[in-house]
Amino acid sequence: MSGVGTEVWGVCLLTLCFASFHVTALKPQLFTIRGGGLPSSSDPPISYKTSYFDQKIDHFGFLEDGTFKQRYLTADQHWQRPGGPILFYTGNEGDVTWFCNNTGFMWEVAEELGAMLVFAEHRYYGESLPFGPDSFSDSKRLNYLTSEQALADFAVLIQSLKKTLPGAERSPVIAVGGSYGGMLSAWFRMKYPNVVVGALAASAPIWQFPGMVPCGDFYKVVTQDFAKSGFNCDTNIRESWKAINNVSSTAPGLQWLSEEFSLCAPLKNKMEVAAFKGWLQETWVNLAMVDYPYPANFLQPLPRWPIQVVCKSLSFDSPVSDYQLLHGVSQAVKVYYNFTGGASCLNTSQTATGSLGVLGWFYQACTEMVMPMCSDGVQDMFEPEEWNFQAFSDECSSMFGVRPRADWAATLYGGKDIASHSNIIFSNGGLDPWSAGGVTQNLSDSLVSIMIPDGAHHLDLRYSNDLDPPSVRAARALEVQYFRQWIRQAEKTR
Amino acid sequence: MSGVGTEVWGVCLLTLCFASFHVTALKPQLFTIRGGGLPSSSDPPISYKTSYFDQKIDHFGFLEDGTFKQRYLTADQHWQRPGGPILFYTGNEGDVTWFCNNTGFMWEVAEELGAMLVFAEHRYYGESLPFGPDSFSDSKRLNYLTSEQALADFAVLIQSLKKTLPGAERSPVIAVGGSYGGMLSAWFRMKYPNVVVGALAASAPIWQFPGMVPCGDFYKVVTQDFAKSGFNCDTNIRESWKAINNVSSTAPGLQWLSEEFSLCAPLKNKMEVAAFKGWLQETWVNLAMVDYPYPANFLQPLPRWPIQVVCKSLSFDSPVSDYQLLHGVSQAVKVYYNFTGGASCLNTSQTATGSLGVLGWFYQACTEMVMPMCSDGVQDMFEPEEWNFQAFSDECSSMFGVRPRADWAATLYGGKDIASHSNIIFSNGGLDPWSAGGVTQNLSDSLVSIMIPDGAHHLDLRYSNDLDPPSVRAARALEVQYFRQWIRQAEKTR
């Protein structure tokens, strides 16, 4: 990383930043499936209004008094005004239209609750850029990219809507979010219970912070998904790293590897092989996150239960030759990247495309969102890798000129000591690696956990589907029950 | 104010700033009795250790990574370690040793609770200056003076003490504060319930913000105190403003007025007369705040029930001549400023001396702490004066280069919608004008109000005294009961 330092500004290609993280293996794990989130052709058409709100750039200091345009989407077709509830999506690290299109649950319950829907974009993502195209140009401009500022944006926006939108003044607002957006939902209810009467935090790893859960649990869940999806599937992936090292140690081996995986850019050196392994690792993680029970259309379409399909190419008895093993891996990977057979080659920087979101998330990981991850190659199927905070911090310093504060999130958001809060649903999927950092047991009568054993990453927030397992149907029904309860509570006290 | 503008920096004398606020009658009402807080000679001697903690200058951004020395005082003579509770004073707008010396309640209950005491200084006050003597030199350096930063300081300090202080790891921490410090205590429990198990917010006007209580209530309480402390006392003060206007309209009158009040600096013009009236008004307010049932030693000693003593000079039948009336006023004022007869003259800028605290508080009033005050001269004894936010904002802009955000405190701290929080005692004195903006009714089983009808400003936090009314004795006993309950709760869940 040395030498990238300050020059990274303005010329930093996302792929370069990403690769640099890969090289030192200090990549922050991303929540969003990159490029993902496009609506499926089978999803019902939705209609919303796009608006922009003048939001303070800095809520926590008064010197910077400028504003920026925060984008938000609204849909009031089913809203029973005055006073009908508002479901408010606390946008996460990406274009808010993705989340709007991929949170079918909200669209489906709007009618039965007589609710208005609001999807608010997170600052520094999508179109909500505090300094326009320069928002990422230096650490001074990036300084307002924090979860606290984002929560304040949501709070100020809601208070304004309640004042200005006819019929909204007494509407109870419920926060909804998935993944990092789910963390924001939960934190939003904790910090602004005056603004939202409750929160649904779907697949929200609010405990994936230092000292709260073992750093290896995340990759253990990924491994379990593969272990139960096909004979020897996890074992063969575990063996594949050494096979890659062996094969890539010679020039002909490198060439074979590049051809076997149909890589668009052939591998040339050890650094690129390390990046290639990082790309594979991320592919397995992504598959675990989207291991849905029905075909889903992300960047490219995936079959139902994609890990089972992937594992068909990896279900052989070891030992096999390195070449046989890696042929299986390449077949498996192509399920993810080339299910329809339309890709002429595989681009290992592909996972990093899509939006500024990646750079924004890296900055957040380098400041507040310190989420330790590690692997040991025994309880998981990955190469052993310790969590090295100092190295991570150094990398952040050279990349953004900031250092992460490891304990801040715990102090600010309560860590494991959150039982005094109320009205939060933590839903988690048993297949989702992020469940490792989630709240998977009830903490009180009104801080409840809903487990979806057959669910991947926030399956409950997606459109319902004939192939949905009963567990997610039950989860959604229970979530709506809690919504109704919170709405009744709010009606009593207003 | 025009022309003061940016030149105010560095050369701003507190008295000038103060006077400038007076001139436009946009002074923010101060909580702290200026120069007050010295321990009384009758108070028991206390012993504490002074320490300094390296605190982040900015908790809410990562660009500014510098630290400053936050002062805090500790006393562990009675601490039952390990695990004994910690009473944590959330320091307000002044030198923390003042609050340490004037919160006898904490010293008195330490033994019976086996508690350690911690008094944490608020950033930008006392010795806890983020940029040393330059902390007030420009709006860039003042940018980190907010209540959110102060609360984060407290949270980070406590988390550090728990980690590093042998025996403190499992100690339940209770926040205690009076006045603005009480607001901080309440907000601290609301925002960081993971850090403190409960809070005693004494005389904390958390509702003295726009739209929450009528802006005239504060001065009504002051007026009531005078009305019930002597015949015609409030009426004569109400009449005095016109008398001052009449008398000061001629040069001989101005001279007479200056001599009658033994002013150190004779009044020369209309602007100075306006400032003089502001000084009088503040004197009446301060008397209401310190209307204690026993002699108390502030900057100068005061008799017990000082308003009764003051009113002896003002208890005559109107109409009297302007000169007779103002003679009564001057005698009354001298009770406050010259009870022992040692002052050779009265300094109308005296209330503004003492510490940087005044400037810091003005900045806070000009940003977050927007506390509307108004008077009508009918329901109160002051000159009619509307609350004019725009004029106030303009003044702030010219003085500090910042504009207040009128709605921010309500959004951030919940306004009147705080019932979902828990474990906060709001104690208020019936004589205290700040009770007008306080929580004076129970909001839930664990958000309780304790009223002390005969109490002035946070009397309950002071040392007990033989002359204490039964209501404050009962209040303190109840407060300790709640402390014990919170400690038991914490023991159950840890």
List, for residues A355-413, the tens digit of each pLDDT value: 446 889 999 999 999 999 999 999 999 999 999 999 999 999 999 999 999 999 999 99
Does residue A288 form part of some domain?
A: no
Q: Taking CB atoms and an 8 Å limit, are A143 and B61 in contact across chains? A: yes
Single pTM value for the model: 0.93
List chain B residues with CB under 8 Å of A61.
60-61, 143-144, 146
Q: What are the strands, taking DSSP E only, across B210-277?
A: none
Task: Report the residue of chain A nearest B150, measured CA to CA.
Answer: A60
pLDDT band at A301 (very low <50, low <70, confident <90, very high): confident
pLDDT band at A300 (very low <50, low <70, confident <90, very high): low
Q: Let me know the angle formed at the C-alpha of A412 by A407 and A415, rounded to the nearest 5 degrees.
A: 70
Tell me the pLDDT tens digit for each residue of A94-111: 999 999 999 999 999 999
Task: Supply the ipTM of this predicted assembly.
Answer: 0.92
Amino acid at A127: E
Of chain A, the percentage scoring pLDDT greater than 90 comes to: 83
How many domains, in total, are found in chain A? 1
Amino acid at A9: W
Tell me the pLDDT tens digit for each residue of A418-442: 999 999 999 999 999 999 999 999 9
Q: For the residues A259-281, what does the mean pLDDT come to?
A: 95
Which of A67-76, B295-304, B470-479 shows the lowest per-residue confidence on average (mean pLDDT)?
Answer: B295-304
pLDDT band at A250 (very low <50, low <70, confident <90, very high): very high
Ordered DSSP codes for B121-154: PPTTSTT--TTGGGTTSSHHHHTT-SHHHHHHHH
User: Alpha-carbon distance B458 to B428, whole Å?
Assistant: 7
Tell me the pLDDT tens digit for each residue of B5-46: 322 232 222 223 333 343 343 466 767 654 444 445 567 778
The token duo for A123 is: 């600052």
Q: Are B47 and B80 in contact (CB under 8 A)?
A: no
Give the C-alpha distances (Å, rounded to integers) separating A147 from A413, B112, B155, B289, B470.
Answer: 11, 42, 18, 40, 48
Q: Within a 13 Å sphere around the CA of A456, how many CA atoms are in the beta-carbon half?
A: 23
Tokens 């404050």 belong to which residue?
A: B472
Cβ-based neighbours of A451, under 8 Å, separated by 6 or more:
A427, A428, A430, A440, A471
Q: Taking CB atoms and an 8 Å limit, are B194 and A418 in contact across chains? A: yes
Of chain A, the percentage scoring pLDDT greater than 70 comes to: 89
List chain B residues with CB under 8 Å of A193.
414, 417-418, 420-421
Q: Which of A65, A159, A423 sits opposite B407 (nearest CB)?
A: A159
Does residue A6 form part of some domain?
A: no
B65 to chain A nearest CA, in Å?
Answer: 8
pLDDT greater than 50 at residue A414: yes
What pLDDT was estimated at residue A186?
A: 98
Give the residue from B73, B86, B170, B104 showing the smallest Cα distance to B483: B86
Q: Within a 13 Å sphere around the CA of A354, how many CA atoms are in the beta-carbon half?
A: 26
pLDDT band at A33 (very low <50, low <70, confident <90, very high): low
Does residue B446 form part of some domain?
A: yes
List chain A residues with CB under 8 Å of B149.
60
What pLDDT was estimated at residue A297?
A: 73
Tell me the pLDDT of chain A averaged across its residues.
90
Of chain B, the percentage scoring pLDDT greater than 70 comes to: 89
Does residue A458 form part of some domain?
A: yes
Q: For the residues A225-248, what does the mean pLDDT come to?
A: 97
Q: Are A465 and A442 in contact (CB under 8 A)?
A: no
Tell me the pLDDT tens digit for each residue of B123-152: 999 999 999 999 999 999 999 999 999 999
Q: Which residues of B are catalytic?
A: 179, 432, 457
B450 to chain A nearest CA, in Å?
Answer: 22
B153 to chain A nearest CA, in Å?
Answer: 11
Cβ-based neighbours of A250, under 8 Å, separated by 6 or more:
none
Which of B2-6, B290-294, B353-357 shows the lowest per-residue confidence on average (mean pLDDT)?
Answer: B2-6
Q: Taking CB atoms and an 8 Å limit, are A402 and B148 in contact across chains? A: no
List chain B residues with CB under 8 Å of A422.
420
Q: Which of A63, A148, A423 sits opposite B402 (nearest CB)?
A: A63
Does residue B115 form part of some domain?
A: yes
pLDDT greater than 60 at residue A119: yes
Tell me the pLDDT tens digit for each residue of A36-82: 444 455 677 789 999 999 999 999 999 999 999 999 999 999 999 99
Task: Report the residue of chain A nearest B159, measured CA to CA.
Answer: A411
Task: Report the residue of chain A nearest B163, measured CA to CA.
Answer: A407
Tell me the pLDDT tens digit for each residue of B205-221: 999 999 999 999 999 99
What residue numbers bound the domain in which A459 lies?
Answer: 49-210+411-493
Q: How many CB pairs under 8 A join A and B?
A: 103
Pairing of strands A198-202, A173-178: parallel
What pLDDT was estimated at residue A1?
A: 31
Task: Report the residue of chain B nearest A368, measured CA to CA.
Answer: B62
Q: Which of A56, A143, A420 sits opposite B63 (nearest CB)?
A: A143
What pLDDT was estimated at residue A440?
A: 98
Chain A residues near any Cβ of chain B (below 8 Å): 56, 59-63, 65, 139-140, 142-144, 146, 148-149, 152, 155-156, 159, 191-195, 367, 401-403, 405, 407-408, 410-412, 414-415, 417-423, 493
Q: Taking CB atoms and an 8 Å limit, are B402 and A493 in contact across chains? A: no
List chain B residues with CB under 8 Å of A59.
408
What pLDDT was estimated at residue A28?
A: 67
List chain A residues with CB under 8 Å of B421.
193
Q: For the residues B428-440, what does the mean pLDDT come to?
A: 98
Interface probe, candidates A9, A57, A63, chain B, greatest B C-beta count within 10 A = A63
List chain A residues with CB under 8 Å of B148.
60
Which of A208-217, B20-29, B302-311, B426-435 shows the lowest per-residue confidence on average (mean pLDDT)?
Answer: B20-29
pLDDT greater than 50 at residue A451: yes
| B350 vs B64, higher pLDDT | B64
Q: Taking CB atoms and an 8 Å limit, are A61 and B60 in contact across chains? A: yes
CATH number for A158: 3.40.50.1820
Tell me the pLDDT tens digit for each residue of B242-296: 999 999 999 999 999 999 999 999 999 999 999 999 999 999 999 999 999 999 8
Distance of CA A289 to the CA centre of its chain: 9
Tell me the pLDDT tens digit for each residue of A137-164: 999 999 999 999 999 999 999 999 999 9
Does residue B4 form part of some domain?
A: no
Q: For the residues B405-421, what does the mean pLDDT come to?
A: 97
Distance of CA B493 to the CA centre of its chain: 35
Chain B residues near any Cβ of chain A (below 8 Å): 56, 59-63, 65, 139-140, 142-144, 146, 148-149, 152, 155-156, 159, 191-195, 367, 401-403, 405, 407-408, 410-412, 414-415, 417-423, 493
Q: For the residues B321-332, what does the mean pLDDT come to?
A: 97
What pLDDT was estimated at residue B38?
A: 47
Q: Which of A60, A62, A408 sits opposite B402 (nearest CB)?
A: A62
Does residue A96 form part of some domain?
A: yes
pLDDT band at A274 (very low <50, low <70, confident <90, very high): very high
pLDDT band at A349 (very low <50, low <70, confident <90, very high): confident
List chain B residues with CB under 8 Å of A191.
191
Which of B176-185, B293-302, B425-434 shows the lowest per-residue confidence on average (mean pLDDT)?
Answer: B293-302
Does residue A133 form part of some domain?
A: yes
